Structure 1
């Protein structure tokens, strides 16, 4: 049986390897070329299409939460491990390179809203769900070239998110992986990382 942390490391590596492949033909009708401007659901679909068949076959999408109508983005079934994972974009820059005024809230807000959830509230939702523990989170992080805010770089975002989960909730969390990717087409979303976290209510 695989260790859940190892599974999250492998998923992060597989996604990071697939993103440049998905980027090659990623054309948006409104934004500049590249995978970066696409929304989370579209990016996940494009990434999964580029995974080797055996890896993609381990991942089920839009899996219902036990006992309710909500759906979990990904569930990885491998080597005796069933690992539910919620995914979020960590893209703090718009298509034109300016700061996205809504992204910070969609990642770090601890306040649940009826129509949407943040990555932070997703952590609480996963741990309180009927899914077996542990569970995971996956962030698709894009970094602007020469990003002037050091706090918006991948390692800093991973560290802050881990601190915020610990601050707001009684949840054990560790950063499982930060797997970089680069060489993408978009002028402001050329590189980044796939970041995964392991959650547990132990």
Structure 2
């Protein structure tokens, strides 16, 4: 008695080139392109959105991640505003919470405008001071005060401490002394 093992025939999916070269290119072309796009999206590594705490140097990274992961996948302002609440903390979350009483579209747009005013402006100022000679007007004390007022409170406090330290050493306070870095834990020497 002989036993035959047969594998059922499973036809291979046609490639894009096969469809394009056949007479059915126009009818199957869109369907196949759609399937390719879905397959590519499913195979992409999942990216995480890091919480935004209000540090101006982290703003561009956050907004790029938020636009890619949230805005590209929903047109609902309700969902976008809820995700902003979820992916922010500290000063940034207080801004989002402050506008969350508005209707979803108005609240979302107001938050994004506030973020741009507050965080894009500060990073552009730093870039201008470093790269444009005429931007030295930002070095004037009154202009630095106006800029520092836009910072989250913990960065304002940090700036105040830097200014006192520089004045104690009789050094000139410059915009470049404004280090917009996330606060870290104190080292043993600082405690």
TM-score range, shorter chain: under 0.3
TM-score (norm 1): 0.24
Larger Rg: 2
Higher strand content, 1 or 2:
1
TM-score (norm 2): 0.25
